[in-house]
Amino acid sequence: MKLIYCQDCHDLFKLSLTMRTCECGHVYGRYVNNQDAEVSEDAVSIVIGNTHLRASIEAMQIHTLRTGNTADRTSYCQPGHGLIELAWVRPNCGPGNPRSRVISSPYPSDSASETPLNINQSPFP
């Protein structure tokens, strides 16, 4: 799962096929298909492995039942109790994030301000 974070308003949100923005409007992005994304330059890209997220949710639910919902919050930061074990922050484009590219505006009509792409070449490697 790809999330983007705004360092100005501290909004964190999931990308979708429609353009989304943070609360202050400074950071925006969207998926252009099921893998590739476009994000604003100041967006911080965060990835959480979907399988690890689902496993952590299941572990948290089991831990909650086993403890009768009496465990304190530090208990959920442990592996097997709710800790998400695969998450990372990465750059918005380049070799560290080959399926994303930076866009200059959330509005398609402003695409003229972006570097033109060769129509025979995908913008994604």
Rounded Cα distance between 37 and 47, Å, is 12
Backbone angles phi, psi at 95, to 5 degrees: -60, -30
List all residues 6 or more positions away from 64 whose beta carbon is below 8 Å from its beta carbon.
71
Same structural domain for residues 11 and 40?
Answer: yes
Instruction: Note the helical H segments in the chain.
Output: 50-66
Same structural domain for residues 73 and 94?
Answer: no
pTM over 0.75: no
Same structural domain for residues 42 and 6?
Answer: yes
Same structural domain for residues 59 and 75?
Answer: yes
Same structural domain for residues 105 and 76?
Answer: no
Rounded Cα distance between 93 and 101, Å, is 5
pLDDT tens for the 125 residues of the chain, in order: 889 999 999 999 999 999 999 999 999 999 999 888 999 999 999 988 889 989 999 999 999 999 999 999 899 888 899 888 888 887 777 777 787 878 888 876 544 334 333 333 344 44
Number of domain units in the chain: 2
Same structural domain for residues 26 and 1?
Answer: yes
Q: The domain containing residue 56 runs over which residues? A: 50-85
